Amino acid sequence: MDPRVREHAEVLVDWSARVERGDDVVLSVAEGAHDLAVAVAATLGERGANLLATYDSDEVLRAYLTSHDGGFEADPAHERGLIENADVYLRLGGGRNTSAMADLPGETRQAYSRAREGLREARMATDWVSTVHPTRSLAQQAGMAYEEYREFAYSAILRDWESLAEEMAEMKELLDEGSEVRLEKEGTDLTMSIEGRTAVNSAASVVYDSHNLPSGEVFTAPYDTEGEVFFDVPMTINGKRLQDVSLVFEDGEVVDHSAGANEDELTTILNTDEGARYLGELGIGMNRGIDRFTDNVLFDEKMGDTVHLAVGRAYDACLPEDEEGNKSAVHVDMITDVSEDSVLEVDGRVVQRNGTFRWEEGFEG
């Protein structure tokens, strides 16, 4: 086995999820993630954790959803019993076909997603971490050779996370102290309130309230969003490629939207529920180890020269204890390239211009 697979497993189990002896671990295995699952199982065995693996195959799910009449039961007791008793939930993504569910009707997907909202909340109450095994299918989506893609993925995943966490602490401080964020670039003039919200220093570990591996972003939960925003980074969502998305916000709500491709899919997402038309996340990419877009949000949204916004669910870690934040069955990230002709301000102070942060060399205030 490629030693990087074993290293990946160790970063996931030890740095990210902080698994300890006796932890009840659910290991969610995508169709193409077998090798990583083997390595993670070995690491979990070494730590003395309790392992149960689930098979999260897109093809199995598509078959199930396609033949179901759509009256999905909320919170099946068996899955609820599994998740509620789990300490740790490790999701190993990496399928064999990123379009495996492309022909599923949006309404079916939505109905299923709504029925599973309780399960999702329960999963997010565990020490959950989502990562991805670099598969040929993901390489294809990225337009890269398999070995080239593996280099790319492991350089993003196998980082010095402690040192990156220190770098990101500065951005977290700016956001925690700030009240309003403004983003300006072509097709974009957006303001959001972040007053009272707590930013997450997303250093790929549950101890930082960070649940993605790789990570390398600082994010918070904005509200009272006003203005328009243009997302120029293409992305595949639910098997559909969304491109050149524009959203217009009034009083925090999306009141107009368009997309250069698959606008229907965007409409479906925004119509999932009320919360799907409000922002749940503002994230600032700070992982300079990710050097190109690969049409995979797990990587793209962490890239150094990007800012992303998500419609839908806000993460609890960003919210004061007495506030609910935005609720939704969806959380869909959309990314904008800020490497050129862009300004990110916090309370009128420029924090990032043309991709360069204020503490970086070459910054022009």
Residues that bind a copy of itself (CB under 8 A): 22, 24-27, 29, 31, 34, 37-39, 41-46, 48, 50-57, 59-61, 63-69, 71, 73, 76-87
Q: Which helix (H) or strand (E) holds 43?
A: helix 34-47
Q: Which two tokens stand for residue 14?
A: 């030890």
Specify the residue, 54 or 356, whose C-beta has the smaller distance to a copy of itself.
54
Specify the residue, 39 or 142, whose C-beta has the smaller distance to a copy of itself.
39
CB of 241 to a copy of itself, least distance (A): 25
CB of 69 to a copy of itself, least distance (A): 6
Helix axis angle, 106-115 to 117-124, nearest 10°: 60
CB of 134 to a copy of itself, least distance (A): 18
Q: Which two tokens stand for residue 21?
A: 């002896």
Specify the residue, 47 or 277, whose C-beta has the smaller distance to a copy of itself.
47
Specify the residue, 92 or 218, whose C-beta has the smaller distance to a copy of itself.
92
CB 342, CB 353: distance < 8 Å: yes
CB of 95 to a copy of itself, least distance (A): 12
Specify the residue, 26 or 270, whose C-beta has the smaller distance to a copy of itself.
26
Cα 6 to Cα 8: distance, rounded to the nearest angstrom: 5
- In sequence order, what are the residues at sequence separation of 6 or more whose Cβ sits closer than 8 angstroms to the Cβ of residue 145? 139
Could you tell me which of 133, 305, 302 has the C-alpha nearest to residue 201?
A: 302
Cα 127 to Cα 112: distance, rounded to the nearest angstrom: 24
Q: Which two tokens stand for residue 147?
A: 């070995």
CB of 100 to a copy of itself, least distance (A): 11
Specify the residue, 112 or 363, whose C-beta has the smaller distance to a copy of itself.
112
Specify the residue, 46 or 147, whose C-beta has the smaller distance to a copy of itself.
46
Cα 279 to Cα 277: distance, rounded to the nearest angstrom: 7
Cα 287 to Cα 214: distance, rounded to the nearest angstrom: 9
Specify the residue, 16 or 43, whose C-beta has the smaller distance to a copy of itself.
43
Specify the residue, 25 or 290, whose C-beta has the smaller distance to a copy of itself.
25
CB of 159 to a copy of itself, least distance (A): 25
CB of 110 to a copy of itself, least distance (A): 16
Q: Do the strands 127-132 and 349-353 form a parallel or antiparallel pair, or are they unpaired?
A: unpaired
> E strands of 187-275, at which residues?
188-193, 200-202, 212-213, 217-220, 223-231, 235-237, 240-242, 245-250, 253-258
Q: Which two tokens stand for residue 166?
A: 């220190």
Q: Do the strands 180-185 and 88-93 form a parallel or antiparallel pair, or are they unpaired?
A: unpaired
CB of 25 to a copy of itself, least distance (A): 8
Cα 235 to Cα 241: distance, rounded to the nearest angstrom: 6
Q: Do the strands 212-213 and 127-132 form a parallel or antiparallel pair, or are they unpaired?
A: parallel
CB of 91 to a copy of itself, least distance (A): 13
Taking residue 225's Cβ as centre, other Cβ atoms within 10 Å add up to 23
Specify the residue, 87 or 273, whose C-beta has the smaller distance to a copy of itself.
87
CB of 20 to a copy of itself, least distance (A): 12
CA distances from 288 to 5, 159, 213, 327, 352 (A): 21, 10, 14, 31, 15
